[in-house]
Structure 1
Amino acid sequence: MDFVKVWESKWNEALKLWSDYVKLTPAKFLFSEYEEKEEGLTASFAAIRLKDHRVLLSVKQIKSYQLEDYALEILGHEIGHHVYCPGDLADQAKLIYITNLAMPRLNHLTSMIVNIYEDLFINDHLKKQNHLRMEEVYQKLGKQKDPFWNFYMRTYELLWALPSSTLTEGSLCDQIQSDAALVSRMIRNFPNDWAKGMFDFASICFPYFFGENNQINSNSIKILMDTIDAGKGMTPPSGITEVEISSELFPMDGITGSKKALTPAEYSTICKSMGIEADISEITYRYYKDKALPYLVPFPERKTPGAKEEILEGNDLWDPGSPIEKINWMESTIKSPIIIPGYTTVEDVYGETTSNEIKVNPIDLDLFVDCSGSMPNPQNDLSYLTLAGAIIALSALKTGSSVRVTLWSGEKEFLVTDGFIKNEKEILKVLTGYFGGGTCFPLELLEDQYKVEPKRKRHILVISDDGIDTMFTQSYPRDPRAIVKNALEKANGGGSMVLQLYQPNKNPVVIELQQSGWEIYPIQTWTDLIKFSKDFVERNYVRNQALR
């Protein structure tokens, strides 16, 4: 194990291969199969972990491949994954997505192709800029007759001007020679923008795995897989709901040359490919939050000029029925050293006086989102209902409003947050759920919530379609119209319904709702919800923003 001490002493030197300013926790050496299993290092002799920016090394496997003399080469390579390619989880996710597009039906190989592509850039940098013995590391690993392996090794031979057969085995066909030449130019053309070449590289790799006769020797290639589970232990990444696809060699209309929006299902697949162990609700929450952020707008708030200012007028006896935090303990102790609640405890008494201050009164949001069978499942496809709800709810939270979200479908079939809350994660987890059943508006929630007028104004917002008529047409033990009218009055912050209607002017329930004070916003398609969510504030509140 003497080589371990040598490698540890070379850690700082390996960091300086990339920059004098790079700081990483020293590599972790694993001395037993148990340690390797615990850390997830089973096939390769080295790996990275993005969660804690760590390099993992298998002492046993390094010895078995006789790599003890290549400390800088291997340490420098692993550090390169942290500081150069991919660098972070978001870039890794983008490369995986692009590769999935280029290799349909072979997505199980995506992580491997991405890993090999990243290795090409890192190894070429270390060879050309630092003159390290990268080719000798591959010579230690041994030659293979596999076509893909030879294509990969031939690329290194061309990049480093090595004689043929230095890394390859046997006579190479014209296709391998041509592919290696293309990839070698790609590595040199995109050293600082390697995402541009990912689609083309994956497209070149695709034929090597297509068909029964083109199965790579999995054991040989697994030796190199050091980024397979790089995202293990991490949360789903942000900033990848849209990915730009570039291609010089394989232009495909509708895919390359522009940004492509990911679906929630594709986002989930990417997370799993990186080793991220998160449930579907967590992944979907991250997706819609990221999708909503560019659209956030200020939520309406009531501004009251000349708001009353409180001034202390004295003390009064604290009533045991009042909140305990109202007790003025200092004054109570002065009055009597022996504290007897309700007898010797006092609370402050405040009066009011006019001031020039402007009091801001956020309007809380009571959001009802239809989740019946006519609506898309937000966990598989982009749901504009969910996205609009996320935009409006997150906007409300920005100005101090509290939000209650109700996801509803059939009778007694609804999911609701624990009252009006400010926890964005809990709000979006409810929004991203799915029932897909019948349609029956949850009148009981309106009835229970608005028995008394709330302390703060609330705006009730309903997103649905023609199924909104169940608000009045369902069988309910009490008068639905009275319940809806009472809720709108008690909320005291207005009510809006954005509805996808087939015949907006002929739905009698919608007409009745509009006549009773609800603002109705008919839309043609669900994509119109994005514009609605951005216009929501101005259309409802600008004309009455200041109340005196």
Structure 2
Amino acid sequence: MSPSQKHITPEDVATGWRDALALWDVRVQLSPPEPHVDFHPDASHAQEPLAYIDLVKRQVFVNFKLLEAMEATGSLTAVLAHEIGHHARFPHTLGWDAELRVQEQRLVPGLKQSLTNLFYDLQVNEVVGRTYAEALCAVYRGFQRVQGGEMSPLFFFYLAIYEELWGLPPGNLVPAAQLEPMEQRYPGVRAEARMFAQTFYALPSGKLQFLYFCATFIRYIEKPADLEFSLPLGGDVSVPDVDDLDAAIHGSSRWDDALDEAEERGWLAPLSTRSKEKDELDSIHRVTEHLPGKQGGRLRQALVAKHYRRLVDQHILKLPTTPSQPEPYLRTTPQAWEYGDDPSSIDWTLTVLSQGHLAAVSPLRRELEADLPPPSELGAPSVEIYLDTSGSMPNPELSLNAMTLAAQVLSASALRKKATVRGIVYSHGNPQVSPWMYDEEKARDFLLSYIGGGTQFPFDVMDALSRERPDALRIIISDSDFLANVTAERPLAPVLESIRRSRLVVAILALPDELRARQALAPLLRERRFRLVVVRWPSDFAKAAADLAQALLEN
């Protein structure tokens, strides 16, 4: 800390908070600032946020230690005014942020780190800088000292905009040594920063501002998939949740007018040449593919499930939403718990009652197994759905899979009729078999499973399940591969016995020719409990499934 710097006192905080509120001249429901507690105590100061708002507690936090390390304690009022501006004048609601994230992935595909915080800061700092420009400059200069290393083209251009906005000479905020190399690397960078400062703040809407922002900044992002950056005032934006992103993707057409205007202004390439989504599933893929670890997979699955739910509701009656019910389970026979077994399987109540004072050293465990549903009434049979997910079908998370949608329609129809559903997702070997499911969301998630590869119908599984649960309604969803599987199956006696044990077996097949199917399935069609439904066009699959469900499940 330089001699001119000093430690921040409670009096400094109170004065800075009062002056920051006065700049915006608004009343906000925020608590006065408190010291930030490091998220990662072992990391450097530069890895921690300088200031942010906890919207749950409605509390402002300031990293006073980082502000002192940056030798910018005199900028406290500007930092607080910046945070208040995010809350009072330019509120980044999660719904709005989700819309921006959907559009930026459309314009900058594969972007690893969102640019929305840069965008929000440009809006807020223009207002704060009218009074505290030099104080904000001190923050950015101090951040460079703490951060160290060469400045990225993205951050260079970002700070060059502030130099132009506040009438500062080149090299006041950006490193003077990088001025010439950056101009050689990106010819006209200075002129573009000046044009941006003159254009961005004059645009009439946030949508146009963001499209212009993305169209300009993309030049300075060399590898979107590798982009990682930090900002001194960049800890403000929370990540939208599944519902926010779902609403943004579903309502992306609200951006069509702004996109058309951006094209007319020459910011974006014509729609026919620039990257665009094929459908909502493509948007979901763009928004989630860059997320690290398993986070992207879980988020993608949740968004895909919501998409298929909307498609299902187009074909069957949408019932009022009810709380998800847990699957019923039964305890198995108690066994001795041994080291290495799951501790959560210990039944302590039973252990204490039966083992007495030896309970702690000799616990008993009991596993959970699904409670098989009781025999259904005539109007609501138990339903087994055999879904073909071979390589001839698209992955339902990336492209609309008509067969998966048909399975979802049948499943939802049965569950809304108070029936129970079991799914069998198969391809070539190792089919996935679910327990009996009572909850629509759980069934939807299971039926989004995908295997790929060749096709081999699991006749042995159907035989075993028909013995375990006779009188169930079994529905097969496949294509011409099912015909090949049946004709290659020798002997057919177990297949026929499975059909005879079932209430009804219905094969819904995507086929161009019904006559060929009837010839191949002649032995099955002679059984009174087997039916064939041929669907010639994939777009008709969901309607055929809905009609079938209505015929089989209506009371």
Alignment equivalent of 1:288, drawn from 267, 286, 304: 304
Q: Aligned-pair distance for 1:291?
A: 0.9
Give the secondary-structure state (helix, strand or coil) at the position aligned to 2:295. Answer: coil
Matched, 1:520 2:533: yes
Alignment equivalent of 1:92, drawn from 91, 97, 100: 97
RMSD: 4.8
Higher strand proportion, which one?
A: 1
Contact 1:234 1:276 survives alignment (8 Å): no
Where do residues 166-245 of structure 1 align in structure 2 (5 Å cutoff)?
167=173, 175-184=188-197, 187-189=200-202, 192-194=205-207, 196-210=208-222, 222-226=231-235, 230-231=238-239, 237-241=245-249, 243-244=252-253
Contact 2:407 2:545 survives alignment (8 Å): no
Aligned to 1:464: 478
Change in 2 beyond 3 A, CA 1:380/1:190: same
Where do residues 74-223 of structure 1 align in structure 2 (5 Å cutoff)?
74-78=79-83, 87-103=92-108, 107-108=111-112, 110-111=113-114, 113-127=115-129, 132-134=131-133, 136-142=135-141, 148-159=154-165, 162-165=167-170, 167=173, 175-184=188-197, 187-189=200-202, 192-194=205-207, 196-210=208-222, 222-223=231-232
- AA in 2 matched with 1:533: A
Q: Aligned-pair distance for 1:441?
A: 1.8
Aligned to 1:371: 389
Where do residues 398-477 of structure 1 align in structure 2 (5 Å cutoff)?
398=416, 400-411=418-429, 413-422=430-439, 424=441, 426-451=442-467, 459-469=473-483, 470-471=485-486, 473-475=488-490
- Between the aligned residues of both structures, percent identity stands at 18
Aligned to 1:322: none
Q: Aligned-pair distance for 1:520?
A: 0.8
Q: Aligned-pair distance for 1:125?
A: 4.7
Alignment equivalent of 2:499, drawn from 459, 467, 484: 484
Contact 1:263 1:381 survives alignment (8 Å): yes
- AA in 2 matched with 1:133: Y
Change in 2 beyond 3 A, CA 1:397/1:208: same
Matched, 1:250 2:250: no
Contact 2:410 2:546 survives alignment (8 Å): no
Change in 2 beyond 3 A, CA 1:206/1:541: closer
Give the Cα–Cα distance (whole angstroms) in 2 for the partners of residues 13 and 423 of structure 1: 54
Give the Cα–Cα distance (whole angstroms) in 2 for the partners of residues 515 and 54 of structure 1: 73
Contact 2:51 2:62 survives alignment (8 Å): yes
Q: Aligned-pair distance for 1:3?
A: 4.0
> Greater shift after overlay, 8-17 or 72-81?
8-17
Change in 2 beyond 3 A, CA 1:50/1:409: farther
Matched, 1:505 2:525: no
Change in 2 beyond 3 A, CA 1:283/1:478: farther
Aligned to 1:314: none
Q: CA offsets per residue over residues 343-399 of structure 1, 9 Å max, x none?
A: xxxxxxxxxxxxxxxx99556543221122323334555544334434553455455
Q: TM-score, normalised by structure 2?
A: 0.65
Higher helix proportion, which one?
A: 2
Where do residues 326-341 of structure 1 align in structure 2 (5 Å cutoff)?
none
Give the Cα–Cα distance (whole angstroms) in 2 for the partners of residues 240 and 392 of structure 1: 28
Where do residues 18-29 of structure 1 align in structure 2 (5 Å cutoff)?
23=29, 29=35
> Greater shift after overlay, 368-377 or 174-183?
174-183
Contact 1:365 1:401 survives alignment (8 Å): yes
Q: Aligned-pair distance for 1:407?
A: 0.8
Q: Aligned-pair distance for 1:138?
A: 2.5
Contact 2:53 2:236 survives alignment (8 Å): yes
Q: CA offsets per residue over residues 157-187 of structure 1, 9 Å max, x none?
A: 5556x35446566679672344234433553
Contact 1:236 1:278 survives alignment (8 Å): no
Q: Aligned-pair distance for 1:423?
A: 5.3
Q: Aligned-pair distance for 1:476?
A: 6.3
Q: Aligned-pair distance for 1:190?
A: 5.0
Aligned to 2:67: 62
Give the Cα–Cα distance (whole angstroms) in 1 for the partners of residues 292 and 33 of structure 2: 20
Give the Cα–Cα distance (whole angstroms) in 1 for the partners of residues 379 and 34 of structure 2: 54
Count of matched residue pairs: 459
Contact 1:505 1:511 survives alignment (8 Å): no
Give the secondary-structure state (helix, strand or coil) at the position aligned to 1:461. Answer: strand
- AA in 2 matched with 1:427: A
Change in 2 beyond 3 A, CA 1:237/1:31: same
Give the secondary-structure state (helix, strand or coil) at the position aligned to 2:446. Answer: helix
Aligned to 1:30: 36
Q: CA offsets per residue over residues 2-30 of structure 1, 9 Å max, x none?
A: 44675478769868988968646776633
Give the Cα–Cα distance (whole angstroms) in 2 for the partners of residues 398 and 435 of structure 1: 27
Q: CA offsets per residue over residues 80-116 of structure 1, 9 Å max, x none?
A: 5567767344543443443344345x734x42x3331
Change in 2 beyond 3 A, CA 1:380/1:541: closer
Q: TM-score, normalised by structure 1?
A: 0.66
Contact 2:35 2:61 survives alignment (8 Å): yes
Contact 2:423 2:434 survives alignment (8 Å): yes
Q: Aligned-pair distance for 1:74?
A: 2.5
Give the secondary-structure state (helix, strand or coil) at the position aligned to 2:478. Answer: strand
Give the secondary-structure state (helix, strand or coil) at the position aligned to 2:533. Answer: strand
Aligned to 1:306: none
Change in 2 beyond 3 A, CA 1:185/1:30: same
Matched, 1:386 2:404: yes
Change in 2 beyond 3 A, CA 1:506/1:289: same
Q: Aligned-pair distance for 1:119?
A: 1.6
Give the Cα–Cα distance (whole angstroms) in 1 for the partners of residues 197 and 457 of structure 2: 61
Change in 2 beyond 3 A, CA 1:22/1:250: same
Aligned to 2:550: 541
- AA in 2 matched with 1:201: F
